[in-house]
């Protein structure tokens, strides 16, 4: 599991917590924000897994390309 997948799973957990807070406080906007965060987390983790599979299928040594690690928003 790479760091991008970890960030995606963390985002899913954060969204779940936000959604539960919305249920407890009966705030529909927090529930919506939690659902959105969960969805984005699942997408991020899924894309990271697909990227890992693609990179392992085509190693950089065969293509002559240099792999550049992508960083998330705000990462320097």
On whether residue 19 sits in a domain, the answer given is yes
On whether residue 75 sits in a domain, the answer given is no
The end-to-end CA distance of the chain, in Å, is 21
Number of domains in the chain: 1
On whether residue 45 sits in a domain, the answer given is yes
Model confidence at 35: pLDDT above 70? yes
Q: What is the mean pLDDT of residues 22-44?
A: 96
Q: What is the mean pLDDT of residues 57-66?
A: 66
On whether residue 27 sits in a domain, the answer given is yes
Is residue 35 a contact partner of residue 22, using CB atoms and an 8 Å limit?
Answer: no
Model confidence at 19: pLDDT above 90? yes
Give the residue numbers spanning the domain of 42.
Answer: 3-61
User: Poorest-confidence range of 9-13, 24-28, 64-68?
Assistant: 64-68
The reported pLDDT for the residue numbered 60 is 67
On whether residue 73 sits in a domain, the answer given is no
Q: Where are the alpha helices (DSSP H) in the chain?
A: 3-25, 28-57, 60-63
CA-only gyration radius of the chain, Å: 16
* pLDDT > 70 in the chain, percent: 78
Structure token pair of residue 62: 């065969």
On whether residue 18 sits in a domain, the answer given is yes
On whether residue 74 sits in a domain, the answer given is no
Which of 39, 52, 62, 38 lies closest to 3, judged by CA?
52
């Amino acid at each position: 599991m790479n760091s991008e997948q970890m960030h995606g799973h963390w985002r899913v957990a954060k969204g779940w917590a936000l959604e539960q807070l919305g249920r407890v406080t009966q705030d529909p906007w927090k529930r919506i924000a939690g659902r959105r965060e969960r969805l984005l987390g699942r997408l991020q983790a899924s894309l990271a897994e697909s990227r890992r599979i693609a990179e392992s299928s085509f190693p950089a040594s065969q293509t002559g390309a240099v792999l550049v690690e992508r960083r998330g928003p705000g990462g320097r």
